[in-house]
Structure 1
Amino acid sequence: MTSWLPDISNGSGPLYLRIADCIEAAIASGALPAGTKLPPQRNLAYDIGVTIGTIGRAYALVHERGLVEGEVGRGTYVIDRSERRPDNQNDPVTAALSGTRLSEPPQNKIRFDTTSAPDIGQGQSISQILADIGLELPAEISSYSRVFPVSWSQAGARWLARAGWSPAPENVVPTLGAHAAAIAIITAVSSPGDKIVFEDLTYTQVSRSARLLGRRTITVQSDENGVLPDDFEKLCQQQHPKLAFLMPTAHNPTLAIMPEERRRAIADIARRHGVWLIEDDVYGGMTTDENPLLTALAPDRTFLVGGLSKSVAAGVRGGWVACPAHFAKRIKTTHKMVTGGLPFILAEVCARLVLTGKAAEIRNKVATELARREAFVRSQLEGFEFRSNPRVPFLWLKVPDPWLSGTFKKAAFDDDVLIDDEDEYKASRSENVYHRVRISFSSQRDTLGLAPGISVIRRLLENGSSGYDAEI
């Protein structure tokens, strides 16, 4: 045990960040050598006059920086970095870009951190389509995709159509999933140094990828109904962003659904300030929401992206982007440049799934299964605050005091359950604290398979005192 204490009298910014920086500086100077046990969170909080929550966030941050390691009951220790093999978790640049998930999750954990479509027997339909393609188009399978059949875009137009709107097939580009579509759009319509707007909580794989591309990320404030138009207007006036990435329906992770009036306001602001919009409808397409799509309200500047991974099969990583008129060629070329190109067999499987009606049939079965699971999880977590949607494979759970989302995630991990804390969804460093975690329930075989992990979550929620002991 060390008698070292951080000096937080100097500097500015959040206390937890100052404490984390003090720890990092002490490790670098040798004041905290490898193997040193950091003070217990309660003790340090008392000694320097801050809350235990502040210490918890500081310890979580230095853990994310790859400086310490620890486990419940043992404490937190400074890592001997000279003896550790460099990997995703120890390289601070990679860690900052990759988020809080482990690069290789242990195989013995219950996975509540993935939202791929549940297995409802779709493999049989997909295997039959693959067999048909192999018999009918052997030459195309053995070559590169040099010509895009119109059926690929027709399938995308059908899949993306929703709420009374449908795109023209000539404006639809098939892609390697929704993520690849978003990156192609960002690359095509912005340049290094341009600012991209993200909600404070968002699908951060896109925001991190944007930073890798040299774009700057800025965040807009949201509430339970999505983006706040007044804050979006202010950002546009003061920071002149090039593009905004938004999820108006079934937002990930909050599940917010933006009302029509607010959508119209966002579309109007984007038009007046010349801001491009990416509308991520991956989860929205699974819902019954009838609010108009942003692309229906601002078709001249909105790119709508969607795919099959959440509602049909993640192993068939296909998707589409509906572009403003005359942009399809640019997006198709950019997508090829940033991804290496679209495999023929992937695009053909996706197109046939949609055009034969199999994709819609699978999506309906997936929705039925998700509704069954959501009802089960809802019953098991009764009495606690969370947001869910019967057709979306996750819920947004508030952890009671004294839990922090990071310490709750760590405690769940120690009980063999993988979940996502709020930091996994923060587009940039933020002082906003939500005390929320995302619990996904699509990867287990059935509701029976959910029971052990949900039991762990419930026990941790009921045993708040564990929040004081979850050393990070």
Structure 2
Amino acid sequence: MWVPNIEVASGPIYLAIADALEADILAGSLAQGDRLPPQRELAYQLGITLGTVTRAYAEAERRRLVKGETGRGTYVAPESQKVSPLIPKEGEPETCDLARNFAYPFLNPSLSDGLVRMAKTVGIERLNGFVPSEGLKAHRETGVLVFKDYGLDADPDRVAVTCGAQHGIQVTCQALFLPGDAVAVDQFTYPSIFSSLAAQGLKAIPVPALTGGGGGLGAMDPDALAQAVRMHHVKGVFLMPNMQNPTTHTMSIDERTRLVEVARQFDLKVIEDDPYTPFLADPLPAFGALAPERTASIASISKVCSPGSRIGFVHVPAPFEDSIRNKIGESTWMASPITAELISGWVREGHLSKALRVKRRANSVRFDRARKILEPYFLQSGSHKVFGWLALPEDVDPDALQAALSHQGISVLSSRYFQAKGQKPAPYIRLTFGSEENEDRFDWALDRIKTTISTFAEPPDLIRPVG
């Protein structure tokens, strides 16, 4: 009989049971069609009330993990999860897209010019075969150049080429942690990190943020991180120091230093994922520079100039060099050397830098318009940040707002996508500035967002400063 381990769980017991059920399904311990124990029997085994188990099963059914059948019991449900709104679909109805963070793809370097250059490259045929799992030396040296924009002087021998940042996160977690380990994450964070950790048998522990200036959210609270380590035996921490997704916060040097102190105190491994850093004019030192002995850094080209290339880079501490190579080899053997060569050409010849300059100028204009149109609501963002975190009145349901805007042909993301499952969505939505190409449609969408919010609640009396 399935009995969840909730001895070290924090928060409501019914959520701990639902979380354990979800983790066991992802880990393969429970399969489609497996029958769960009767509610009364599970309550007896855990020493809790029947009502608590009833709430846990209801929460699991809400997440589409299980299905109850009268007279037969509760079973692990067949896969019926809706496709994430972040995943593009070919031929999908046209909407004004402020949900997906495609940072000005219409300003990317010319793909056709890049392919023509590649075709004329001497020895290009060598890219049509197998290469080392960590990538060719020339491509790893390109990663070194990319990491310079992240405030990190990388060692090419510790750089590996991956199939984008998400693949980089997966193989890095596999290299640094063991199944069952707990990893601290921000209370609002990159949506895929929850499923990525769970799929590898790792447990995500959300940690609250400090309150920033003007009421915005700051960096992960170092004291709360220390407490999470003591309570949950956390082994590592996942951070986005620059333009944190979704809050947009960029850590100060003091915030970075305090988190490094906690990491060293408790011997935590650090994964820093900073896909938006190149948009910043003057990035601060990376965690890989501040704590090189324990930090794995991830860089991506997807958010900068070419999601279609599926090229990213990881830089790991020396003890994990071989492990990273093995994990890449086990997952996909290698990232494509063909698209890695395309990206290398763009970096070496300055096309990447040129595209970034153009995108920064465009983003500054978009941010100024967003700030003005959405006043008096508080938009945590900045002229160099490619998305914004819009604070809603406390009584506005972000899921309901997202649905209402969807009916008007506007896509945004509720805070729910950036929180651990089972938590009540906080009053925020994320808006991206660079996915919609048409300027007039962008302005129209912002105006409709402001108008729609006003139908849910009265505007706030005070205007908080933009972060």
| TM-score, L = length of structure 1 | 0.75
Offset at 1:123?
4.3
SS at match of 1:225: strand
Structure 1 window deviating more from structure 2 (173-182 vs 329-338): it is 329-338
Q: Distance in 1 between matches of 2:118 and 2:451?
A: 50
**Code of the aligned partner of 1:112:** L
Q: Distance in 1 between matches of 2:132 and 2:15?
A: 53
1:360 corresponds to 2:346: no
Contact 1:199 1:427 in 2 (8 A): no
Contact 1:113 1:439 in 2 (8 A): yes
Alignment partner of 2:137 out of 150, 166, 173: 150
Offset at 1:101?
5.5
Contact 1:177 1:320 in 2 (8 A): yes
Which protein, 1 or 2, shows the higher relative CO under an 8 Å CA cutoff with sep ≥ 6?
1
**CA offsets 1:401-444 (integer angstroms, 9 cap, x no match):** 5321111111111111111000100134335x530000112111
1:129 corresponds to 2:122: no
Offset at 1:371?
1.3
Structure 1 window deviating more from structure 2 (230-239 vs 243-252): it is 230-239
141 and 169 in structure 1: CA distance in 2 versus 1, 3 angstrom threshold: closer
In the alignment, structure 1 segments of 5+ residues that lack a partner are 1-11, 18-58, 68-89, 468-472
Percent pairwise identity: 21
SS at match of 1:250: coil
Alignment partner of 1:461 out of 444, 453, 456: 453
Offset at 1:367?
1.3
RMSD, aligned α-carbons: 3.2
Alignment partner of 1:253 out of 232, 246, 259: 246
In the alignment, structure 2 segments of 5+ residues that lack a partner are 1-10, 17-57, 67-75, 211-216, 460-467
457 and 92 in structure 1: CA distance in 2 versus 1, 3 angstrom threshold: farther
**CA offsets 1:363-416 (integer angstroms, 9 cap, x no match):** 111111111211122221121111112222211111225321111111111111
Q: Distance in 2 between matches of 1:160 and 1:396?
A: 26
Alignment partner of 2:269 out of 256, 276, 282: 276
Alignment of 1:14-413 (within 5 A): 65=64, 95=81, 104=89, 106-124=92-110, 126-136=111-121, 137-146=123-132, 148-162=135-149, 165-223=152-210, 224-413=217-406
**Code of the aligned partner of 2:327:** T
Q: Distance in 1 between matches of 2:266 and 2:396?
A: 42
Contact 2:151 2:284 in 1 (8 A): no
SS at match of 2:142: helix
- Residue of structure 1 in register with 2:409 after alignment: 416
Contact 2:59 2:422 in 1 (8 A): no
Structure 1 window deviating more from structure 2 (229-238 vs 282-291): it is 282-291
Offset at 1:339?
3.3
**CA offsets 1:288-324 (integer angstroms, 9 cap, x no match):** 3543221111100001111111121222221111111
SS at match of 2:331: helix
60 and 253 in structure 1: CA distance in 2 versus 1, 3 angstrom threshold: farther
SS at match of 2:308: coil
**Code of the aligned partner of 1:191:** L
**Code of the aligned partner of 2:198:** R
Contact 1:152 1:347 in 2 (8 A): yes
Q: Distance in 2 between matches of 1:300 and 1:274?
A: 10
Q: Distance in 2 between matches of 1:173 and 1:377?
A: 38
SS at match of 2:352: helix
Contact 1:134 1:141 in 2 (8 A): no
- Residue of structure 2 in register with 1:23 after alignment: none
**Code of the aligned partner of 2:404:** A
**Code of the aligned partner of 2:166:** H
322 and 108 in structure 1: CA distance in 2 versus 1, 3 angstrom threshold: same
Q: Distance in 2 between matches of 1:427 and 1:94?
A: 20
**Code of the aligned partner of 2:399:** G
Contact 2:136 2:337 in 1 (8 A): no
Contact 1:60 1:406 in 2 (8 A): no
Contact 2:102 2:303 in 1 (8 A): yes
| TM-score, L = length of structure 2 | 0.76
- Residue of structure 1 in register with 2:442 after alignment: 450
SS at match of 2:259: helix
333 and 355 in structure 1: CA distance in 2 versus 1, 3 angstrom threshold: farther
Offset at 1:465?
5.8
**CA offsets 1:256-310 (integer angstroms, 9 cap, x no match):** 1222222112112112222110011112232135432211111000011111111
